[in-house]
Amino acid sequence: MKILANDGISQSGIDALTANGFEVITVNVAQEQLVEYINANDVKALLVRSATTARKELIDACPGLQLIGRGGVGMDNIDVAYAKSKGLHVINTPASSSASVAELVFAHLYGGVRFLYDSNRSMPLEGETNFKGLKKAYAKGVELRGKTLGIIGFGRIGQEVAKIGLGVGMNVIAADTYMEEATVTVSLFNGESIPVVIKTQTMETVLAESDFISLHVPAQKDYVIDASAFSKMKKGAAIVNAARGGVIDEVALVDALDKGQLSFAGLDTFENEPKPEIKLLMHDKISLTPHIGAATLEAQDRIGEELAAQISSLLK
């Protein structure tokens, strides 16, 4: 039985699938050629990440397809309900990349409060000729410890972000439409752990009280954070989006940065991927990464192994 991992899969995932009798194809097929390739090669399972889409048209055109798998959490690039209505299995790996995304959030936060997003641009250009000037320019950093971290969307990834925040010594608050409280367990190096109960609050409270906000919500029809939301935030606060593109109004974000309402922003996802707006890419108060939240070797191994386990259970 053939499986097309069109956006790639870890070697550990390939090994696990091969051991169970599956043939794994890792060639990257262009989206417009995908239907023809699936049908010509009798592919039974299509595995994607965020680059490849599996819409109604593809599902209808590939009657031999039995399973669509998403290596990661969000499945907005798959017509999930329609696929299931056609009898296809649709799977994802919601827990595998949570820790990796959470660590990237803090990479943006630490880089933001110490101006690394800008100094890494300026030092190669001016480090030799304007060292003292740059030192003065970046001398007003702040610590995360003791500050309030607001998490909007308190699922698996949001809770992983909370764990790091608690470990850093931050006051962690959260907003979630579907959850009243969650017990976040902070694991220590010696195997011991500390459970912390966090009760969710209103969106307005989180916006008003947070020094830093991290978004962990799925893609939606409307913006989660728009101009009105920015106006409710503390002056000089910062925001990180390592969730999905389109949950932030990027025009309003640039305006809030330009007016000083926000001190900086960290973006891993963008409304217009893979071609983010140039105003975002060139802005001197935005820390940028190209949608790499789940892109660690450890997360990819976990994703591959989890996909392999589910596929083996469903199709073997």
Q: Is 244 a catalytic residue?
A: yes
Q: Alpha-carbon distance 143 to 240, whole Å?
A: 16
Backbone angles phi, psi at 215, to 5 degrees: -100, 135
Residue-level pLDDT at 260: 98
Spans of the chain below 50 pLDDT: none
Write out the two tokens for 135: 């030192």
Catalytic residue among 103, 209, 273, 277: 273
Write out the two tokens for 295: 């892109």
Q: Alpha-carbon distance 110 to 221, whole Å?
A: 31
Residue-level pLDDT at 219: 87
State which amino acid sits at residue 243: A
Q: Is 128 a catalytic residue?
A: no
Catalytic residue among 49, 216, 244, 283: 244
Q: Alpha-carbon distance 237 to 235, whole Å?
A: 6
Residue-level pLDDT at 73: 84
Write out the two tokens for 107: 């990479």
For residue range 194-240, list pLDDT tens digits in order: 999 999 999 999 999 999 999 999 988 999 999 999 999 999 999 99
For residue range 104-147, list pLDDT tens digits in order: 999 999 999 999 999 999 999 999 999 999 999 999 999 999 99
Residue-level pLDDT at 316: 82
Q: What is the percent of the chain with per-residue pLDDT over 70, rounded to a whole number?
A: 100
Catalytic residue among 49, 70, 216, 291: 291
Residue-level pLDDT at 50: 84
Residue-level pLDDT at 74: 82
Q: Which domains does the chain have, with CATH numbers?
A: 2-94+297-315 (3.40.50.720), 98-288 (3.40.50.720)
